[in-house]
Amino acid sequence: MPTGETNQTQHNVDGLEQNQQRVKEGAGLLTSAALKKLDEDLPWYRALPKDDRAWVGLVAQYGISSFVSWFTNPQLGIQNAGEMFSAAPPDLTRSISLQHTLQIVRCVVEVVENYSDRLAAPGQEQHLKEAVLRYSREVAFEAAEVYARAAEVRGAWDARLEALVVDAIVRGDRDKTLRSRVSALGWSGVGNVVVVVGSTTSQFDDLKAADLRRATRRIVQDVLVGIQGDRIVLVLGGDGDLFTAAQGLAQRFGPGPVIIGPIVSNLDDAPRSASAALAGLEAVAAWPNAPRPVAADELLPERMLIGDPLARSSLVAQAYTPLSQAGGALLETLSAYLGTGRSLEGAARDLYVHPNTVRYRLRKVAELTGWDPLDARESFVLQVALAAGRLPIE
């Protein structure tokens, strides 16, 4: 190698070593300047709680020291860029966002750039600036990975907690910790609650569950998704029309019936909605022409046939008791009408009244109970309600 080139190479090596030494000696200056810049330029940093602000400051210090360590020992490789996040607790990702973390990185970069003329050896300023830009790029990528890992862990934890909460609702648990657990999942607790059950599609995995959760949150404020074998359990909450929202979600379920439980006033009563919906899912086979979706309260006769006590008490409360207390022979007229094969004339003969009188009384029955005796399906509901009311209370 010619002497001139040898001298130039040696000059470059000496300049690089001098540059590294000056940066190493200036690490304290860079750290102080970085912390000062964080406080001056980032309002969200100043608003953090004391402990979180201390952790963020420690991350910035590690950022400076990691850069200095890499810059003075390039043989270590750029992989140690992620060391600046090793000092902070994992929960810090809940306090500050990825965007805020990148702002920290930019502050550190700006500090090194601003001090490069003072720290760098003569002629080595550009080398220092290029090094910090390269390092900051790697730190940004590492920050994204840290947040991605945190989101993955948090997502797995949230999924397990959500499954436990839905299972508790299905089992009918009224544990006082239920509210705190759903709050951890982001449940606002505003408005009413309803439970919807149905079958899953084939191969219903975590991705499909997440997609269902996102689709549901577009139309209701709160949602919990439970996958229990081949069954989906949705717990919906909010101020809007939850029944209409539940109807719109029927296509998200697999083949077969979809049952909408009764709407309840709060999450504490969600087990009642879940119990009715699950009983309806078990009993719906007895009504082959049931609509999809169908309200659990439309399946009261079928639910009573499988021994659902809630269905029996609902039928008695909604039909038998009001008719028996109404007077005016409404209960007697309904019984006669159903007992003669739903014949107006037959009932009139048994009661010794005009058929129009029977028709008038049956209209009153419909107004009082909400079920029309002249409709085939609803007359069946009323017939089962009469039978339930006549049975002795256990």
Which CATH number fits the domain that encloses residue 198?
A: 3.30.70.2730
Average pLDDT, the chain: 80
Same domain, 104 and 227: no
Query: Which is more confident, 191 or 68?
Result: 191
Give percent of the chain with pLDDT exceeding 70.
78
In the predicted structure, residue 380 carries a pLDDT above the cut 80: yes
Domain-ending residue, one of 109, 129, 153: 153
Which range marks the domain in which residue 340 is found? Answer: 309-390
User: Dmax of the chain from CA atoms?
Assistant: 132
122 & 204 share domain = no
- Which pLDDT value is given to residue 42? 83
Stretch 212-232: mean pLDDT: 83
Q: What is the pLDDT of residues 238-255, one digit of tens each?
A: 888 999 999 988 888 888
Res 150: pLDDT: 54
The model's pLDDT over 86-114, given as tens digits with 9 standing for 90+, comes to 555 555 655 666 667 777 777 777 777 77
Question: What would the DSSP string read from start to end of 296-350?
Answer: GGGGHHHHHHTT-HHHHHHHIIIIIHHHHHH-TTHHHHHHHHHHTTS-HHHHHHH
Q: How far apart are CA 275 and CA 270, in angstroms?
A: 9
Per residue in 267-317, pLDDT (tens digit) is: 888 999 999 999 999 999 999 999 999 999 999 999 999 999 999 999 999
> Does residue 25 carry a pLDDT above 60?
yes
Q: At 341, which CATH number?
A: 1.10.10.2840
Q: DSSP letter for 392, please.
A: P
Are 290 and 297 in contact, with CB atoms under 8 Å apart?
no
Based on the fold, state whether residues 325 and 282 are members of the same structural domain. no
What whole-number percentage of the chain has pLDDT above 90? 36
State which of 232, 267, 300 marks the end of a domain.
Answer: 300
Is residue 173 one of the residues assigned to a domain? no
Average pLDDT over residues 125-140: 72
Same domain for 54 and 92, yes or no, is yes
Task: Yes or no: say if 184 and 233 are a contact pair by the CB < 8 Å rule.
Answer: no
Q: From 252, 275, 300, give the residue that closes a domain.
A: 300
Higher confidence at residue 391 or residue 277? 277
- pLDDT of 9 > 50? The answer is no
